[in-house]
Amino acid sequence: MNSVLFKNILRFIVLIFVQVFLLKNMVFYNLNVPFLYILFILLLPFETPTWLLFILSFLLGITIDLFNDTLGLHAAACTVLALIRVFFINITVQKDNYDSEPEPTLGIMGFRWFFFYTVILTLIHHFFVFNLEVFRFSEIGNTLGRVFISSGLTIVLIFVTELVFYKKKQRS
């Protein structure tokens, strides 16, 4: 089995278990909900075909929906996240660097690029999750508060996870 495929399958399973059995219970006053599972979509290799990215994102989201009883909420948000990821990578990463930089990790892409990548995609994902959940303009203030608080916590968890598994870029 290919090592990249094995690593991503393991990442998929571990992130779902962490989300469902640990982070699902870390909600304080219904304001912050850390969604670390989006790290799977963020760290998929650059050369992942777009159709496969959308299928994997939908499967990840629907799996989280099954455990959270949310009927497609996370599946829709993960699919939007995959779309924004494609646009962001097409705009910020040169196509000829795909071979030398296979994954968008902190160690490979550097802090600055990874920070903006994580912040923008996390904010968009959380915005869609919480707006689809509430689906009322009268709750926009509360919803935006939840988006920013949850995004902040998720971004911190993503960076802690990346620092734990940090590998410096290999020069050849």
169 part of a folded domain: no
The domain tally of the chain equals 1
Per the structure, the complete domain to which residue 28 belongs is given by 1-95+114-164
Helix axes 111-134, 73-92, angle to 10 degrees: 150
60 part of a folded domain: yes
89 part of a folded domain: yes
Residue 134 pLDDT greater than 80, yes or no: yes
What is residue 24's predicted lDDT score, i.e. its pLDDT? 78
Question: Would you place residue 171 in the very low, low, confident or very high pLDDT band (cuts 50, 70, 90)?
Answer: very low
User: Average of pLDDT values for 50-73?
Assistant: 92
Q: Where are the beta strands (DSSP E) in the chain?
A: none
Q: What is the pLDDT of residues 36-52, one digit of tens each?
A: 999 999 999 888 899 99
Helix axes 3-21, 50-68, angle to 10 degrees: 30
Contacts of 132 (CB under 8 A, 6+ apart): 73, 76, 77
68 part of a folded domain: yes
User: Average of pLDDT values for 123-144?
Assistant: 88
Could you tell me if 82 and 53 are in contact, meaning their C-beta atoms sit under 8 angstroms apart?
Answer: yes
91 part of a folded domain: yes
Question: Would you place residue 97 in the very low, low, confident or very high pLDDT band (cuts 50, 70, 90)?
Answer: low
User: Average of pLDDT values for 88-110?
Assistant: 75
171 part of a folded domain: no
User: Average of pLDDT values for 105-112?
Assistant: 84
Longest dimension (CA), the chain: 55
107 part of a folded domain: no
Query: For the whole model, what pTM was predicted?
Result: 0.88
Average model confidence (pLDDT) for the chain? Answer: 86
User: Average of pLDDT values for 92-115?
Assistant: 76
Q: 58 or 163: which carries more pLDDT confidence?
A: 58
63 part of a folded domain: yes
User: Average of pLDDT values for 96-109?
Assistant: 70
Residue 1 pLDDT greater than 80, yes or no: no
What is residue 167's predicted lDDT score, i.e. its pLDDT? 67
Share of the chain above pLDDT 70, in %: 91
